Chains A and B, each alone.
Chain A
Amino acid sequence: MKKKQQTPISFEEAAKLLGAERVDSINNVSMNPISLQVLANQYASKIKNERGRPSNPDWDISRKIPISSDNWNRLGEISHVVSDTYHKPIARGQVAAMLLEDSIDHFDIHLNLTRFATLNTSTFSYFFTPDTRLEAAKLCSIINHESIW
């Protein structure tokens, strides 16, 4: 028997219906449980312990990258989970490097161009802050060799 069509609700409304209170959100990064497990497996297979702290031999450049203190703390939480799961210590800087490499590997410019182009519509404005939309527009302009200024 076909189910009666129901009106979709947002996750916030769903949480209220479930009687749940929000704790935290991880924005702009796909950190669902499956991705976390994949990340942990990637770490276990790539990291080598030769001298001192374990590291990835492919990392041959070191650069300073700005980050918020909130995200730095979250990286610490993630490094604890991965370290405990595989009984190998991993520093939050290494987790950050792995996430960055993975994001770059899977970043598809053309697919995301379409997303960025629609960021200004009301549909997507719910999910992105004005700062994020501005950064997306800048990226879009660089890719298209255009200036938005």
Chain B
Amino acid sequence: MMTTDTFSALFGCEDLTPKDQFITVFVPSLTRDKVPIDHNAWKIQAVKIMSKLFGGSTVIPGYGGWYDEEDNEVKTEDISMVVSFISNEECNKENMDELKQFLHKMGKETEQGEIGILLGNTFYRIREFES
């Protein structure tokens, strides 16, 4: 039976700390009031910050919706999911503090109702954006 270590050796992979968890940031394309934002610029910023913190990131384009309870309306838009695989060690306070600055900046400057993130298999949302 082949183990992941065997595969790593076969492919010539470096013996690194395993990255077996992931973080996903949902980058929006509209404000809460459905005004288009510079989606590409924010997507690139997300890729840069997450690659810097976690070694790399991948963008998956998508289309999604979220239920705005205040407006009692489902709001839909094109989005980008920026995914990084991370190790236990990379999930630390310093990295989260830096990621937080970006997420709250994006939420505030693009006038979002909420910013969605996936930590592993759990979805979280940020609704209060700090300055």
Say yes or no: is B89 at the interface (Cβ < 8 Å to chain A).
yes
Are B119 and A14 in contact, CB atoms less than 8 angstroms apart? yes
Chain A positions within 8 Å of B106 at CB level = none
Chain B positions within 8 Å of A29 at CB level = 121
A9 contact from B92, B100, B128, B129, Cβ within 8 A: B92
Q: Which chain B residue has the least Cβ–Cβ distance from A29?
A: B121
Residues of A in contact with B (beta carbons under 8 Å apart)? 5-11, 14-15, 17-27, 29-34, 37, 81, 84-85, 108, 110-111
Chain A positions within 8 Å of B121 at CB level = 25-27, 29-32
B118 contact from A17, A27, A32, A110, Cβ within 8 A: A32
A84 CA to B83 CA in the complex, in Å?
22
A7 CA to B93 CA in the complex, in Å?
8
Chain A positions within 8 Å of B91 at CB level = 8-11, 14
Chain B positions within 8 Å of A110 at CB level = 1
- Could you write out 25 A-B pairs with CB less than 8 Å apart? A7-B92, A8-B88, A8-B92, A9-B91, A9-B92, A11-B21, A11-B119, A11-B120, A15-B119, A15-B124, A17-B100, A18-B126, A19-B126, A19-B130, A21-B125, A23-B122, A23-B124, A23-B125, A25-B121, A31-B121, A32-B121, A33-B81, A110-B1, A111-B1, A111-B3
Chain A positions within 8 Å of B122 at CB level = 11, 15, 22-26
Chain B positions within 8 Å of A19 at CB level = 100, 104, 126, 128-130
Chain B positions within 8 Å of A21 at CB level = 124-127
- A32-B126 contact given A8-B88, A17-B93, A27-B121, CB 8 Å threshold: no
A10 CA to B81 CA in the complex, in Å?
22
Chain A positions within 8 Å of B81 at CB level = 33
From residue B85, how far is it (CB to closest CB) to chain A in Å?
9
Q: Which chain B residue has the least Cβ–Cβ distance from A31?
A: B121
Are A85 and B118 in contact, CB atoms less than 8 angstroms apart? no
B89 contact from A5, A18, A30, Cβ within 8 A: A5
Chain B positions within 8 Å of A31 at CB level = 121
Are B130 and A85 in contact, CB atoms less than 8 angstroms apart? no
